[in-house]
Amino acid sequence: MRAEASRRSRAIFLLALLVIIWGVNWVIAKKTLEFVSPIWVTAFRLVPACLVFFVLCIATKQLRIPVRADIPIIFSIGWLHMVGFSILVSVGLQYLPAGKSIVLAYTTPLWVLPAAWLFLNESFTPRRILGLIIGMSGLVLILQPSAMDWGDRNVLIGHGFVLLGALLWAISIVYGRAHKWVTPLFALLPWQMLVGSVTQVLLAFAFEGMPHIDWSVEVVLLVGFGSLFGNGIAYWLMNIVSRDLPAAGVSMGLLGVPLIALLCSSLFLGEVLGPALLIATVLIIVGIVLGTLPKSRRAT
């Protein structure tokens, strides 16, 4: 019991660290798009991180050939999160303010709730249903379907791609919790990143062609932060917390990411956080809290 409690405490601390990294990285990603096309942004972040982690695993003698049982988790995280979520959000981020896009992207917990009920047998209580309804009302408020220009292709791409990315991430979280891990997380991460890197580079060449970048110290620092922290370290942390904490608990913890990102987008990008966005954010957070907080136990 003590070992289990210690592992959960460590996972909670790592989740907090992950929240800070991803919150800051959202603004970094928005800034990087001023210099690099969206799919190449994701590739330039992931490929160096992949190489670094292969070197670390070799240096620490933790590099292993994945066993057959872990192949599904390698491809699921590599494709759903590292490729699907990253590219869709990167493309959508071109057409949306960072503040609005971060709130849309982190509706992920709302999609996790019904998925965890369907596939992990997690309870779907009246309180969780209420939370889902409140959260979805926040999503409707931020989208404002009646005011949206449905004929504007850029509007549809921006909103649609970010929401689809959130859905793919939710699937990744649920599957990560259900998977029976065999190989240590650190040893699997380079292979997940390799799958993601190869796929991203192929997609970048296919859709964007050769990259044309005016490299500078600023661009190197932006890409470097996204590679080392936003991808490498963050994905490792995400694997750990997905294994050691309930899927709903991970989702609730990730609520801190949009809060930090909203603050950073206002401070560093000068974005105005309008009342509709703030109210929608509150509704989504309240909905997720209601949907993911564990049931309280009464004293007997």
* pTM assigned to the model: 0.82
DSSP state at residue 214: -
Determine contact, residues 32/224, Cβ cutoff 8 Å.
no
Write the pLDDT tens digit of every residue in 100-126.
Answer: 888 888 788 788 888 888 888 877 788
Indicate whether 166 belongs to any domain.
yes
For the ranges 187-196, 222-231, 253-262, the lowest mean pLDDT is seen at 253-262
For the ranges 15-19, 88-92, 250-254, the lowest mean pLDDT is seen at 250-254
Indicate whether 298 belongs to any domain.
no
In terms of residue numbers, what domain contains 9? 2-291
Closest of 297, 100, 82, 24 to residue 201, by C-alpha: 82
Indicate whether 196 belongs to any domain.
yes
Backbone angles phi, psi at 129, to 5 degrees: -65, -45
The confidence band for 160, taking pLDDT boundaries of 50, 70 and 90, is very high
Confidence at residue 75, expressed as pLDDT on a 0 to 100 scale: 95
Confidence at residue 253, expressed as pLDDT on a 0 to 100 scale: 79
Indicate whether 296 belongs to any domain.
no
Give me the number of domains the chain comprises: 1
- The percent of residues above 90 in pLDDT, for the chain, comes to 33
- Beta carbons within 8 Å of 207's beta carbon, 6+ residues apart: 39
Average per-residue pLDDT for the chain: 86
Confidence at residue 124, expressed as pLDDT on a 0 to 100 scale: 76
Indicate whether 107 belongs to any domain.
yes
Indicate whether 115 belongs to any domain.
yes
Please tell me which residue, 144 or 77, carries the higher pLDDT value.
77
Q: What is the DSSP code string of 240-262? A: HHHHHS-HHHHHHHTTHHHHHHH
- Beta carbons within 8 Å of 71's beta carbon, 6+ residues apart: none
How many CB atoms within 10 Å of residue 86?
A: 26
Could you tell me what percentage of the chain is helix, strand and coil, using 3-state DSSP and rounding each to the nearest 5? Answer: 80, 0, 20
Write the pLDDT tens digit of every residue in 271-295.
Answer: 888 888 889 889 988 888 887 666 6
Write the pLDDT tens digit of every residue in 187-203.
Answer: 788 999 999 999 999 99
Give, in degrees to the nearest 5, the angle at Cα 207 between 201 and 209.
70
Indicate whether 240 belongs to any domain.
yes
How many residues are listed for the chain in this entry?
A: 300
Indicate whether 106 belongs to any domain.
yes
